[in-house]
Amino acid sequence: MLSSLLVCGQDVHFSQFFAAPMHINPAQTGNFLGSVRLGANYRDQWGSVTVPYRTFSLFTDVGIQPKKAVNRFGLGVIALNDQAGDGVLTTNKLLISAAYHIGYTDHDAVRLAIGLQGGIVQKTFDVSRLYFDNQWNDFSFDQQIANGETGLNQQLSYADLGAGALLTIIPYEDQRYTIGASVAHVNEPVESFYGSTNQVGIRYTATAGAFIALNGVATFQPQIYVSTQKKASEIILGANFSKPMGGDGSESALFAGTWFRVGDALWVVGGLQTGHFTGSISYDINVSKLSTASNLSGGLEMAVVYTFGSIGKRDPLKCPTY
């Protein structure tokens, strides 16, 4: 019978974290073959338990590197919209990212990138969709009765800042290893609809991965993702396999993989890379304590990316354009 308002939780996340590069680490800005990259991510989850939670993100970045230049500069923008359940809570983000890549040439075996990110976050909620204890009339909740809440704002906004670093090691043409680290909400902005001093916790994220060509037949791409924010944590590990279509000289490839979020979900992903385009789709199978209510169903996720400009050279690893 008693209903109260509590709006908190961990940041929006994508299972295909590798397909949301700037969302994970601003040092990924401009880190691709080409001059301009456009991408989109969509996630729909918990539809089997309640009204689905939906997240949609658009991003674009450019890589600026004059001819014969050793280093590269990246500049990008992310726009994100998240609808929590039946629309009670809506989050909008607009973030600008910039990165500087040191040693971004075919001859450099080690590359280091440093990135910064900043922008605006806006959150709103529709109080008319909520029920409060004051609205209980002994038989049901009556929203015609005043909810009795005072000092309640239905909208808030704040500046958000982050930073990251990415180390890439390329010992051979057919091998690439990456280690990344990032921090989000470093300014610990205040977030409260009641005007309290609740602060958004700093989110620490670390990633590591490898891209290894297997005798020209396929590419093995294992990765691990670890993120913590206040008392919440997330660990993802898994791998994708990419296989060229039409022989080793083809610029097209199919890829598939299996991934696991510790204590929460298992999912499979499949996709296609052809020239400048990469598209993928995945589905989470919930294995947490909520699996009884969810019937093992978790979330559908899709990602697409298209790059413009001359690729410059064939990628022996057939890496997705993410």
Mean pLDDT lowest for which of 136-145, 264-273, 302-311? Answer: 136-145
Q: Which residue from 264, 269, 266, 215 is spatially nearest to 244, judged by alpha carbons?
A: 215
The per-residue pLDDT for range 19-52, each reduced to its tens digit, is 999 999 999 999 998 999 999 999 987 655 566 7
pTM across the whole model: 0.86
The per-residue pLDDT for range 114-134, each reduced to its tens digit, is 999 999 999 998 877 777 777
Kindly report the average pLDDT of the chain as a whole number. 86
Model confidence at 293: pLDDT above 80 = no
Report the chain's C-alpha Rg in angstroms: 22
The per-residue pLDDT for range 168-194, each reduced to its tens digit, is 999 998 899 999 999 999 999 999 887
> 290 falls in which pLDDT band (50, 70, 90)?
low
Q: How far apart are CA 320 and CA 322, in angstroms?
A: 5
Burial of 241 (0-12, 13-18, 19+ CB in 10 A): middle
The per-residue pLDDT for range 243-280, each reduced to its tens digit, is 988 765 567 899 999 999 998 889 999 999 988 999 99
Q: Which residue from 122, 117, 104, 48 is spatially nearest to 78, judged by alpha carbons?
A: 117
The whole-number average pLDDT for the span 199-213 is 96
CA angle 28–58–279, rounded 5-degree value: 80
Could you tell me the domains of the chain? 17-308 (2.40.160.40)
Per-residue pLDDT, 234 = 94
In sequence order, which residues have a C-beta less than 8 Å from that of residue 145 and are 6 or more positions away?
134, 135, 137
| E strand or H helix that includes residue 294 | helix 291-294
Beta bridge partners of 152: none
In sequence order, which residues have a C-beta less than 8 Å from that of residue 172 and are 6 or more positions away?
none
Q: Which residue from 14, 86, 8 is spatially nearest to 47, judged by alpha carbons?
A: 86
